[in-house]
Amino acid sequence: MNHLQKFTSQVRNHLLVVLLANNAFMIGAGWYASTHNSLSINGVVIVMCVIGFVLTIGFAVLSTEYLTKPLRTIWQAIIHISPDTADQPAPNLASLSLGKDMVTNLVSHIYQLASVVDTVQQTAHYNKTDPQRDFVASNLPLPLAIMDKNDNIVFANLAFSTYVHQDADLQGKNFYSVIDLAFSNDRTFDRWLSDAKANKAVAAQTWERVRLNGIDNEDGRIPQFDLAAYYNQDNPDNLETMVVLFDHTMQYSQDDQAMSFLALAVHELRTPLTLLRGYIEVFEEELEGKMSAELDDYMKKMAVSAGQLSTFVNTILNVSRIENDQFNLHLRRESWQDTLKGVVNDLQLRATVRGIHIELDLPDSLPAVGVDRVSMYEVVSNLIDNAIKYSNGSARIIVKARETREGLIETTVQDFGVGIPASAITHIFDKFYRNHRNRAQIGGTGLGLYLAKAIVTAHGGQIWVNAHEGQGSTFGFTVLPYSQVASKSETSDNKADIVQSAHGWIKNHSLYRR
């Protein structure tokens, strides 16, 4: 039975009940008058007529109210969406009993029609011809798209449709349904846009190394580009957000290939490097106390260099795994004190060679943490390694751990070295980012902090930096206690690994976010 048939049958039933009740009351009143008041037949007819008249008026008033409620609801919905009476509230569909399905269906059609009319009007408004504007926008040799306040595309030039491989007219389509972007950090386009919508009337932003998911160019490369966006709240022409893409597929895919090649080459270094480190350890043990001071110094420097090389190899391999979504963490119950002591112990020699002492400040007790020991080793060693590299002659590094009020385990690595200028802080965790001021003097890849962030985030923690130029830096991160990790993954078996993945690409729209 469709909605209209259902409504018709409801009305029929209602009228049937009302008429039957009306007649029953009338007959009842006639019977009562004749038996109890011994009226003549004329008297009984008069009583029945009067009662019938009163009841008909009563039922007519009540039925009108009841039967016209669906009509009044539809009327209120139309008034609600009409531009002159927009302050009229929307009808409350929940309070309906008669014809609820039919009215709900009709009202939703009315709202849909209104939004179509709105879009058509906006498009018509935009289509007001302005030859110069149209010429520039259409022939701009860069992909350009303009969205309204609902993120629907109001204009996309030919370069844009070609770039996103769409033949159909993009006008009216939602931007996020047309373009699936992935960013190398969590400052994504949609986050910026919602922030701009909430706080700023006008804003502009650029992103580097953005990927277009789901599309391969003819040569099999994933399109990669820089993106620039401009936001103008309540623009009178409804041109609220503008995005321009600057294609760098060639350059960025060459970087990716270089990274893959590097990872392949570096992979071959692993075995000889492990052997080398093993032999150095054997030599150190066997020749302890038998070497001259000079030889002892050489031996230490050899051990430090092998350690640094091993950090480099692991960083490259891990970044490559993250890029290819092949980086899995095996979270287990670990003592955080032991983990930190282990890393600091291993890096102490690296620091001593540079005249630096690493102080370890740990509370007496800390809850056990749920971490992947090997990956966490990379995080802490990268932070301490940086503190040594950028120490600028200072002699102290402080590694501290504490339990926060939220029950997380926070670790900080503080140095008193070169510090970081404010302009560099927002990019410090980006892939390949290196601060230009010390890039020339101090070697590095710009991957250590990127990797540390990916690992900490995959553990469910957060990483941050607090630094000022010339005054040293403090890097901090949190990890979860094992109890929280286990309850999240609904396992309490201490022996079982909890497997989580780290991803290098952050999807743009929260709807699609991993």
Query: Which positions from 31 through 50 interact with ligand ADP, judged by CB under 6 A?
Result: none
- Cα–Cα distance between 231 and 76 in angstroms, integer? 36
Structure-block tokens of residue 490? 């609904």
| Phi then psi dihedrals of residue 16, to 5 deg | -60, -50
- Cα–Cα distance between 40 and 46 in angstroms, integer? 10
Cβ within 8 Å of residue 407, ≥6 positions away: 367, 481, 484
52 or 446: whose CB is closer to ligand ADP? Answer: 446
Binding segment toward ligand ADP, per CB under 6 A, in 32-40, 76-84, 319-327, 442-450: 442-450
Question: According to the binding rule CB under 6 A, does residue 225 interact with ligand ADP?
Answer: no
Question: According to the binding rule CB under 6 A, does residue 417 interact with ligand ADP?
Answer: yes
Question: According to the binding rule CB under 6 A, does residue 435 interact with ligand ADP?
Answer: yes
**Paired strand residues for 328:** 501
The rounded radius of gyration (Å) of the Cα atoms in the chain is 37
From 473, 478, 500, 508, residue interacting with ligand ADP (rule: CB under 6 A):
473
From 305, 412, 438, 462, residue interacting with ligand ADP (rule: CB under 6 A):
438
**CA angle 107–108–112, rounded 5-degree value:** 115
- Cα–Cα distance between 265 and 263 in angstroms, integer? 5
CA atoms 365, 366, 367, 370: torsion sign: negative
Tell me how far, at minimum, the Cβ of 427 lies from ligand ADP, in Å. 8
342 or 476: whose CB is closer to ligand ADP? Answer: 476
Pick from 295, 174, 239, 175: nearest CA to 286:
295
193 or 420: whose CB is closer to ligand ADP? Answer: 420
Question: According to the binding rule CB under 6 A, does residue 434 interact with ligand ADP?
Answer: yes
369 or 387: whose CB is closer to ligand ADP? Answer: 387
386 or 411: whose CB is closer to ligand ADP? Answer: 386
Question: According to the binding rule CB under 6 A, does residue 428 interact with ligand ADP?
Answer: yes
Binding mask 346-385 for ligand ADP (x = CB under 6 A): ------------------------------------x---
Structure-block tokens of residue 145? 């798209």
Q: Find out whether 118 and 110 touch, Cβ atoms under 8 Å.
A: no
Question: According to the binding rule CB under 6 A, does residue 273 interact with ligand ADP?
Answer: no
Question: According to the binding rule CB under 6 A, does residue 172 interact with ligand ADP?
Answer: no
Question: If binding means CB under 6 A, how many residues of this protein chain bind ligand ADP?
Answer: 22
Question: According to the binding rule CB under 6 A, does residue 449 interact with ligand ADP?
Answer: yes
From 445, 457, 462, 483, residue interacting with ligand ADP (rule: CB under 6 A):
445
Tell me how far, at minimum, the Cβ of 353 lies from ligand ADP, in Å. 17
- Cα–Cα distance between 180 and 210 in angstroms, integer? 10
Q: Where are the extended beta strands (E) located within 115-170?
A: 144-147, 153-156
From 175, 390, 477, 505, residue interacting with ligand ADP (rule: CB under 6 A):
390
Tell me how far, at minimum, the Cβ of 411 lies from ligand ADP, in Å. 14
- Cα–Cα distance between 503 and 514 in angstroms, integer? 9
Question: According to the binding rule CB under 6 A, does residue 331 interact with ligand ADP?
Answer: no
- Cα–Cα distance between 389 and 312 in angstroms, integer? 14
Contact residues for ligand ADP, defined by CB under 6 A? 382, 386-387, 390, 415, 417-420, 428, 433-435, 438, 444-450, 473
